[in-house]
């Protein structure tokens, strides 16, 4: 846990992300700004985290989001900003 960032979670999503991340990393806890990869995360654990978060939060999101925002705070903010149940999310179309 990052001793410099002992603040409580800002949202329910952030608390859930931190709890699942700690479980996947086999740690007692992680702080909001703890980097998943700096605390033992790797690509296999990222896949596990992705699956667990999709199940716990009930939302679909791209695996790459974990690599782009690897902290509980960053990931929760990204998910809260884009969170929709899987069935309600429109298909994204890449435009050049």
Q: In whole angstroms, what is the distance from residue 1 CA to residue 67 CA?
A: 19
Domain boundaries, the chain: 12-88
- What's the pTM? 0.77
Q: What is the pLDDT of residue 22?
A: 97
Which CATH code of 3.90.930.12, 1.10.8.350, 1.10.10.60, 1.10.1200.10 fits the domain covering 12-88?
1.10.1200.10
Q: How far apart are CA 91 and CA 70, in angstroms?
A: 24
**pLDDT at site 62:** 94
Residue 71 contacts residue 34 (beta carbons within 8 Å): yes
- Tokens found for residue 52: 């667990």
- Residue 35 — φ and ψ, nearest 5°? -85, 125
With cut-offs at 50, 70 and 90, classify the pLDDT of residue 9. confident
Rg of the chain's alpha carbons, rounded to an integer? 13
């Amino acid at each position: 846990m990052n001793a410099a960032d002992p603040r409580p979670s800002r949202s329910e999503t952030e608390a859930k992300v931190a709890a699942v991340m700690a479980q996947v990393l086999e740690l007692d806890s992680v702080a909001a700004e703890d980097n998943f990869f700096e605390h033992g995360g790797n690509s296999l654990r990222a896949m596990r985290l992705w699956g667990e978060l999709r199940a716990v939060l009930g939302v679909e999101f791209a695996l790459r989001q974990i690599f782009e925002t690897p902290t509980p705070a960053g990931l929760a903010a990204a998910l809260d900003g884009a969170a929709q149940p899987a069935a309600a999310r429109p298909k994204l179309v890449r435009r050049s």
